[in-house]
Structure formats: C-alpha cells, structure tokens
A and B are shown apart, each in its own frame.
Chain A
Amino acid sequence: MSLIASLGAIEIGLIFGLVALGVFLSFRVINFPDLTVDGSFPLGGAVAAALIVAGLDPFAATAAAIVAGAAAGALTAWLNVRLRIMQLLASILVMIALYSINLRVMGKPNVALINDPTVFTLFEFAGLPDYVLKPLVLLVIVIAAKVLIDLFFASETGLAMRATGSNPRMARAQGISTDKQTIVGLALSNALVALAGALFVQSQGGADISMGIGTIVIGLAAVIIGETILPARSLIITTAACIVGALLYRFFIALALNSDFIGLQAQDLNLVTAVLVAFALLVPAYKRKLAKLLPGKSKAAPVIVKEA
C-alpha cells in the first residue's frame, strides 16, 4: 500500500468516523434504529455542494449542511414520537423522501466541485500536498466533534439523553421528556452524518445522488468493529472506538483493493472486505478464549516465556 493510498484510507475513514459517531448516538445511546443516515449523508453533501457552487463561503455551506441534517433527523424522530410511526419505518420514509429532496437541492444528479473553494483549499497556505492536508484538517474536525460529544454526554442534557435510551420509563419518572430527547438526539446524530457528507463532497470533487447508498451499513460496521476491538464502559473510549472502527473499515477496503496478488479480482472486493471485517471481529473473542486456557492472571507473560 502506498503512502497516498494509506492517507486516502485515513481521510475517508475519518469522514466515516463522523458517520459512526452519528450512528452510535442513534443506535446505541438513544436506542433508535435510524436509517435516515442513507439520506442525510447525501443531503449534507448536496446542500454543501449546491451552496458552494452558488458562491457561498465553504464554511457557511458546511454549516447549512449540518442544519439540514439536523432537520432531517428531527423529522424522523417527530414521525415516531408524535405520529407514532414505527422507528424503522419512520426513518425509511425520511430516507426515501430525501432522495427526491437531494435531487431538488442539487438540481441534477451530480454537482462537481473540482476547482471550487472548499474548507480544505483555505488551508493550502501551509504548502502541504493535498493528500496530507486533507487528512490533517479532517483529523482536527473529527477530534473536535468527538470532544464536543464527550462534553455533551457529561452535561445534564447529555445524561438525560443517555437515560432516555437505556431506561425510558425511569427517565420519564425522573421528569425527563423522552420525546424531546429523542428528537434532539436524532437531530444531533444526523447533523454529524450531514457534516460527514459535506466534508466528503468537498474532499472528493463533487456530490453524486448515489453517494448515500450503504452509509448506514458502513456506519454500523464501524461502530461494531470499534466496540469489539476497544470494549469499554466509558463513553469517552467508546466514542474513540467508533472513529477507530471507521478507520479500520477503510483500511480493510484498502487491503482488499490490494488483494489481486492472491488471484482475487475487482468483482471480489466486497466479499474480501466482508471476510476481513469478520476476521477482525473474531480476533478479540479468540484472544479471550486463549487467555482463559492459559494459567495465571497475566495474559501476555506466558507467551513470551514460551518463545524464550
């Protein structure tokens, strides 16, 4: 794997780290299986791309994308808590509606941003090549998002949101409006995903209507890979694990792209990625089994003794 390919995997992994954080918020924290992300990821991209092409400042365009994503998430939650539409169906309805809305926002299926200003071009004064600059800028954004989320979860509202997810009855008994928490939670989750979409189009040269396909799958896979590899009770570590999971997932794809030497072909890419992810999920389980078989409390020491 070349340096540029690795940095490319990091760059896209960081963007999907934001998606993973959003999916973690909906699926894990407020316990809402939300598929809106397949629509809010391209929504963020569509809004950002359309506004940048219209001449707006890239930062303002990205902010508008975040607001649009929050609105989409709030709509899904509203359909569920007010109109009592089942969670999955509510999110599916918003997701498919967003396909048409995204086409309206862009005016056509593909809006190119190849030589337009983006949040990345603003940092070009540093003189770094594009493939180093983009991951660096993204790293700062993703860390900032993670820290803000950690602070939010430690705040009173954040704790109320966590209570809503883990025990809604108890939460209501404590005077928490679980409906309001669900709406705010999904808005926040989809705002993160739309931010990811806005950054994706700015780093990849354009928004395409097909860019949302499979976002939820990648986001969920990242959350689960992260949880398996870095199991923890502390939310600070779990949010970090989401980002690590997204990075690993992109590295598996980069590895799968380089698997032609064992006779695999382009059409096998998704299969190879799936097998690699499955292996990654198996490793911690086997590590625990091995640890149980070995005597003593120390897990690592006996192995070293054997080798010596």
Chain B
Amino acid sequence: MQHSFLRSRLTAMALALAATAPFAHAAEKSVAVTAIVEHQALDAVRDGVRDELKAAGFEAGKNLKYEFQSAQGNTGTAAQIARKYAGARPDAIVAIATPSAQAVVSATKDIPVVFSAVTDPVAAKLVKGWDASGTNVTGVSDMSPLDKHLELVKRVAPNAKRVGVIYSPGEANSVAIVEALKKAASAAGLVLVEAAAPRSVDVSSAAQSLVGKVDVIYAPTDNNVMSAFEGIVKVAQASKIALVAADTDGVKRGAVAALGLNYYDIGRQTGKVVVRILNGEQPGKIASQTSTNFELHVNPAAAQKQGVTLSEELVKSAKFVVR
C-alpha cells in the first residue's frame, strides 16, 4: 500500500513537472552547431558564433539551448548529426565547412540553416546565388580577397615573380581558391606554382618541392595547410623564402604577413546572422555574405628569418604586429 501511495505521488510530481516544463522553457531559444572536423580555424568560427550569441543576450546554458557536434572527419557521421538536428528542431542550425553544410541542407528544408566557412556556397548548391535565397538557408563565406592578398605578396617581396601555393586537392574550398588565384595571379603579372598536399603529412614535402621554383610561398585557408603550418614555416626559414598567409592566425605561427580573414570574426559575423534569425527574421530574406573585415598582421622577426625586410610603411599600416 505504502509503495503504491508513494508511486502515485511520484507520478503526480512527474506529471506536474512535465506540465510546467514547456512553460519554463517557452522563451528559451535553441541553436545547434556542427562542424566536419576540429581544427583551429573551424574551432575559431564555432567560438565566434557562441561569443556573438552571448553578446546579443543569448547565453548558452542560461537562456539558450546550445549544442555542438563534430563529425570528426567522417561524412557518414556528419549525415547522422544532420539527422539528429533535423529531429531535434532547434531554432537555427549552424553548419561549419562544406560537407557538414551539405549534410544539414539535405536533411532539412524548413529549419533555418546558417552555413559558415564555406568558400563557394553556390558551387556547393547550398544557395542558388549570393542574393537572399528564399529558402531556409543563408550564411557567411570565407572566400579570401585574393587580389588584395597578391597585392600584399608584392608589398612583402617587391621583386617576386613566381608565387607558390600549397593546398589539398581534395578540399572543395581550396580548389575554388586556387582556381580563382590562377586568374588573379596572371592579372597581377605573377606566375602561380601549385604544390598539392593530399594529406596533412604531405604539407612539408609539398613546401620543399617549391624550393628553387618560387620567390614567395602563399598559404591559403586550407585545412591540411592549417594543420601542418609549422612544416611550411620551417622550409621557408631554411630556404629563405617569404611565407604569406591568408589567415591571420598564420602570422602568429611564423608567416611574414597576412591580410585576413580572421576565422573568429567570420564566426562573429555568422553569429550576427543567427541572432537575426532568433529574433524572428526569415533566413530566406537574408543574403549570403562574405567577410568584409580584413586585418593586416605582420611578423618582422619571421620576415628576418625568411630573408625579407618588411618596409616601415607596411609595419605601420598593420593592425597587429607579432613581436
């Protein structure tokens, strides 16, 4: 008897809890974030999104249900994460990098999706064009301002004729960049020399293959390049070839200069889009964007090690100087 009494009371309590729960959380917004793999640039995007949400008053764990999942490099897992989110129905899904964004976009046609760090969202078929899509998808691209990057290459090494680029041929983003870079280089009177690194362990030998063939090495926003950046720095120092990066984090890690594309800022920009959606805007009415906030970072000490001297004017115009 006592047992059944207790049980009925517990049931009543559970029912009461269940009844109050939806009211307590009615105002709570939810954001689910996924990335294809963990690495510095993509993690910076994720942190940027979270910080921007917090700045706008959506704090994870307080008034925001926030979740992050990484596919750890596996496209099958990326697809499953996409299904998990499609089932959980958050107010917005943030998908970082092309494979994750494609998995999410093919898993839901109605939950708002904000992609980030996708270089060419049109080629990836996430959106039909750069204008507002009219669908549930919008986002922020990480396309580099390539002509500005080549300008920087010329300012760092005014006599450079041949520019080496290291990239992974298996990465959609990097191939898009190298294609565009070829055109931009010939327009700027430079010759582009490609070195492919299919895996991150191939990066340093790709850098070595450029020695003697190029005057400057350009490191694009490539996953393999970013993972094995120090390998390129070593080659650049040993062979006195200046290394110019696309991502400002590269300057801290030993590149001479970068006009970036700061991935944390791309995350903040993505976060702003998410906030607009949480506040009731339709994703289909927000145009896809590229990063507009470029900062010049320079590293005079690295320049010296790589056999170039940065002009005073260049160092002065830098937003950040690594000492």
Q: By DSSP majority rule, is chain A's interface helix, strand, loop, or mixed?
A: helix
- CB under 8 Å from chain A, chain B span 157-179: 169-172, 174-176
Does A254 interact with chain B (Cβ within 8 Å)? Answer: yes
Are A213 and B74 interface neighbours, CB within 8 A?
A: yes
- CB under 8 Å from chain A, chain B span 140-171: 169-171
In the complex, chain B residues whose CB is within 8 Å of the CB of A16: 76
Does A214 interact with chain B (Cβ within 8 Å)? Answer: yes
Does A269 interact with chain B (Cβ within 8 Å)? Answer: yes
Does A158 interact with chain B (Cβ within 8 Å)? Answer: no
In the complex, chain B residues whose CB is within 8 Å of the CB of A214: 74
Does A9 interact with chain B (Cβ within 8 Å)? Answer: yes
Does A225 interact with chain B (Cβ within 8 Å)? Answer: no
Mark each residue of chain B from 51 to 86: 1 if its CB lies under 8 Å from any CB of chain A, else 0.
000000000000000011110111111011111101
Asked, given contacts A213-B73, A260-B67, A266-B68, whether A205 binds B106 with beta carbons under 8 Å apart, the answer is yes
Total interface residues on B, using CB and 8 Å?
40
Mark the stretch among B21-29, B123-131, B236-244 that contacts chain A: B123-131
Does B250 interact with chain A (Cβ within 8 Å)? Answer: no
Interface size class of A (residues with CB under 8 A): 35 or more
For B68, the closest partner residue in chain A by CB is A266
Are B72 and A270 interface neighbours, CB within 8 A?
A: yes
Interchain residue pairs with CB less than 8 A apart (27):
A2-B87, A3-B87, A4-B84, A8-B82, A8-B86, A12-B76, A16-B76, A103-B169, A109-B170, A109-B171, A110-B102, A110-B124, A110-B172, A112-B123, A113-B125, A114-B106, A131-B107, A200-B75, A205-B105, A209-B170, A213-B73, A250-B76, A257-B69, A266-B38, A266-B69, A267-B38, A269-B77
Residue positions of B touching A, CB distance < 8 A? 38, 67-70, 72-77, 79-84, 86-88, 98-99, 102-103, 105-107, 109, 123-126, 169-172, 174-176, 198
Residue positions of A touching B, CB distance < 8 A? 1-9, 11-12, 16, 99, 103, 108-110, 112-115, 130-131, 200, 203-206, 208-211, 213-214, 218, 250, 253-254, 257-258, 260, 265-267, 269-270
